[in-house]
Amino acid sequence: MDERLENQNLSEDEHIKNKSDFLRGTIKESLNNPLTGALDPDDIKLIKYHGSYQQYDRDLDSERKMQKLEPLYQFMVRVRAAGGITSPQQWIALDELSDKYGNGTMKLTTRQSFQFHGILKRDLKLTIQAINETLLSTLATCGDVNRNVMCNPNPYQSEIHEEVYKLAAEISDYFLPKTTAYHEIWLNKEKVAGATDVEPLYTEHYLPRKFKIALAIPPNNDIDVFANDIGLIAVEENNRLKGFNFCVGGGLGSTFGEKATYPRLADIIGFVEKNKVIEVAETVIAIQRDFGNRQDRKNARFKYTIDKRGLEWFVNELHTRLGWEIESSRPYNFTTNGDEYGWVKGTNGKWFYTLFVEHGRVKDEEGYQLKTALRELAGVLQGDFRLTGNQNLIITNVEEKDKEAIESILLEKGVFNNPKHTGLRKNSMACVALNTCGLAFAEAERYLPSLIDKMDEIMRKNGLEDDEINIRMTGCPNNCARSSLGEIGFVGRAIGRYNMYMGASHNGDRLNTLYKEMLSEEAILEEIEPIISAYSKEREEGEHFGDFVIRKNIVEITDRPVKVLS
């Protein structure tokens, strides 16, 4: 074992990793055990690195206990796609998988990937095999490694966008785990006799916790760059990509009742030329590998490593390992962290349509057949589909002559220009929460639409139905829908009860602040109505909701803004 770990009181997860034989564990044996729908406890941890979480249907929990049955165990599978790009053929294959093995829906995530829910153990290997047959993968979409790399999903928005997308894909591939366990377990590849796995960066211990990287291109912060362990802000000069302002230490998850856990936005430590980004990122990851907390997983994210030892310590360690110093940061400006909906013409002369997908759930409802519409589009589309960091979808590379046909399909299925899609709704996000997430205290995705229905009545009464206010809801403080960056944020505390936060910036560079705790729906509406009314009457020109509630002292400004080292 590494000398740094020998004398530590390691967490259970660390022991599981250390004895896993590079993530193999006994997953093969667990999959073949017919006596339970679950995996071995250690394998439940290890399977995350392979792109899956074991869950169970919480809606059926009481009923199954009464029948003396084990929980209805099922698996979530997450697909890796750097920058969120998939071909029409891949979309059709994934759509079919959701019906064949999942719950009939697909979830577009806040990290530009796909999730499938409701997969039974007997179908798990078949599902992962089928995903790989589409030339996609589930490897490293979960676990203590670098996750799916995010960036603006439209490389044809400008030449710089294309260059940034290519770098995101390169970073994603570079930091994939090198173990062959994934191919052996899921793809029936034989382990080469006498061969030994080598993880030159991760080692056999992997990282203390998950690690996230995202690239943003001003003025759009559409992937919430400051919420990531490493954030890269593109810097251009004379329409050429020069490099990136390098941000470190972002992460939004926390735990109720534990003050040692908290959301934190990344700090800007300087400017890095584009050809040196991977070298610096690898060095940063290695520092977290060596100094991150392996005793307490709640304090194991990179943000806590920096705060425990100090940002100056980190920068000195980084420079020492690099053997050179990064430059001072360059000016930049973000205006929004939302998506721009509708048609946009790309640098290649083709058209791109950004489509609102409520909370990323691709499904059919009465009068709103989104899943059917997208499957039909995939059958005729010459371009591809691109997932945004806000759970939405871009239909891309459409010829001028084909725009009308695209709109016709969406209109026929009730998707195009749906009148329910108000400014508040189109700027909303929610995590899965109940019924499948084992961490959720309350509803999120299944509840937020109905809450927005009621909030929209207040917005219309005040002439604000088209106003863009970022509203985000999570079923727990792990922050999968980045509720800490919502101008209005809700975090579930118990069934039907939410903490309400306000005051995040509209461009994603300021956290929100707790307003009131344990609010019911009735209390939420009572609290928000006078604030929205005042906003409609007293806001200054161009003032966003998050800035308004701070200016009016409705909430105090967060005491942890983004720090920029000179």
Q: Is the pLDDT of residue 347 over 60?
A: yes
Q: Is the pLDDT of residue 165 over 70?
A: yes
- The per-residue pLDDT for 39 is 98
Kind of pairing between the strands at 73-79 and 52-56: antiparallel
- Return d(Cα 113, Cα 138) in angstroms, integer: 10
Lowest average pLDDT, out of 194-198, 412-416, 531-535, goes to: 194-198
Which burial class, exposed, middle or buried, applies to 466 when counting CB atoms under 10 A from its CB (0-12, 13-18, 19+)? Answer: exposed
- Of 151, 437, 482, 510, the catalytic one is 437
Establish whether 497 is a catalytic residue: no
- The per-residue pLDDT for 82 is 78
- Return d(Cα 208, Cα 344) in angstroms, integer: 42
Which residues have a Cβ under 8 Å from the Cβ of 112 and sit 6 or more positions away?
A: 81, 83, 84, 148, 150, 153, 223, 387, 388, 389
Establish whether 212 is a catalytic residue: yes
- The per-residue pLDDT for 192 is 66
Interval 195-200 mean pLDDT: 84
Establish whether 476 is a catalytic residue: yes
Establish whether 142 is a catalytic residue: no
- Return d(Cα 511, Cα 303) in angstroms, integer: 15
- Of 80, 212, 264, 289, the catalytic one is 212
Q: Is the pLDDT of residue 556 over 70?
A: yes
The domains of the chain, with CATH numbers, are: 51-138+343-418 (3.90.480.10), 144-175+207-338 (3.30.413.10), 423-551 (3.30.413.10)
Establish whether 147 is a catalytic residue: yes
More confidently predicted of 387 and 194: 387
- Of 210, 294, 425, 493, the catalytic one is 210
The secondary structure element, H or E, covering residue 502 is strand 497-502
Give residue-wise pLDDT tens across range 292-318.
Answer: 999 999 999 999 999 999 999 999 999
% of the chain residues with pLDDT over 90: 91
In three-state form (DSSP H/G/I as H, E/B as E, the rest C), the secondary structure along 435-485 is: CCCCCCCCCCCCCHHHHHHHHHHHHHHCCCCCCCCCEEEECCCCCCCCHHH
Going from the C-alpha of 58 to that of each of 101, 107, 442, 534, the distances in angstroms are 19, 18, 11, 40
- The per-residue pLDDT for 1 is 45
- Return d(Cα 68, Cα 512) in angstroms, integer: 45
- Of 121, 247, 480, 493, the catalytic one is 480
- Of 45, 48, 78, 482, the catalytic one is 78
- Of 247, 294, 476, 482, the catalytic one is 476
Inter-helix orientation angle 121-133/88-100, to 10°: 170
Strand partners, 394: 354, 386
Q: Is the pLDDT of residue 5 over 90?
A: no
Give residue-wise pLDDT tens across range 212-231.
Answer: 999 999 999 999 999 999 99
- Return d(Cα 549, Cα 540) in angstroms, integer: 12
- The per-residue pLDDT for 435 is 94
- Of 142, 151, 247, 431, the catalytic one is 431
0.85 cut: is pTM over it? Answer: yes
Q: Is the pLDDT of residue 13 over 90?
A: yes
Give residue-wise pLDDT tens across range 476-510.
Answer: 999 999 999 999 999 999 999 999 999 999 999 99
